[in-house]
Amino acid sequence: MTTPGTTTSPTTGSPTATPRERGIGMRFSLHPHCDDFVAVILGALDDAERAGLTAGLTIETDDVSTWVGAVDEPAEQRLVAYLAAVVAAAHRRSDGGHVVAHVLLSRGCPGEVGCDLSVTGLPRPEPVRVPATGVAAAAQWSLYPLLDGGSDDGAHMAHIERAIAQAVERGTTRGAAHYATRLSGDVAEVLATVADAWGDVGSAVAHVVSHLTLSVGSPTAVPR
């Protein structure tokens, strides 16, 4: 995959750096659990595009997932609005069936493997505000601050703990699981919880990644 416009610029890290310069984006895969999954996926992507939600984003779909890079502000808002619409559309197009999205949110590593970011002057994004989709989700969420300025060993855990405390206050958390925090709520609210935490930690840490497995329309707990 080519990566246009992802070269780290000298202004990266300054408050005026664009979302693209700060490498803000996501990669997601969409899994409708139905025979006509191809039509559901393509239809859901089209629905979100026709709703105008691809504005300010660069989108590339490959054989495993879809990359969405934020070009314009508000970056986090655009990403969440687009993804919430895609998931809700896939749910609707599969007649309320089981759809899972796996999401990787990333900021601070635009040049793929190599990172060469200044950690000064990281802006704190505005909280995401996206209308409820009407679709309830259960999710498992992990947050990884990766470039925390050489602070002591446990420093990145403080960022995670603060982010989780904010999610608890918001009412979307259902407690901890192994390696993840359990979330539930409207698709839009769950995604906003995750994006806000990611953006918040990103105001203190240059390279922050978050993973989310988001499930809608699941049959009740698998008997196992």
> From the CB of 141, what's the least distance to a copy of itself, in Å?
10
Single out the segment in contact with a copy of itself by CB under 8 A; choices: 31-39, 72-80, 85-93, 122-130.
31-39
The one-letter code for the residue type at 67 is W
- Decide: is 22 part of the binding site for a copy of itself (CB under 8 A): no
Q: Is 50 in the site for a copy of itself (CB under 8 A)?
A: no
- Stretch 91-130: interaction string toward a copy of itself, x if CB under 8 A: -------x-x-x-x-x--x--xxxx---x-----------
Q: Which two tokens stand for residue 37?
A: 């999954």
Count of residues near a copy of itself by CB under 8 A: 72
Q: Per CB under 8 A, which region of 85-93, 124-132, 152-160, 187-195 contacts a copy of itself?
A: 152-160
78 in Cβ contact with 191 (< 8 Å): no
Near a copy of itself by CB under 8 A: residue from 10, 16, 169, 224: 224
169 binds a copy of itself (CB under 8 A): no
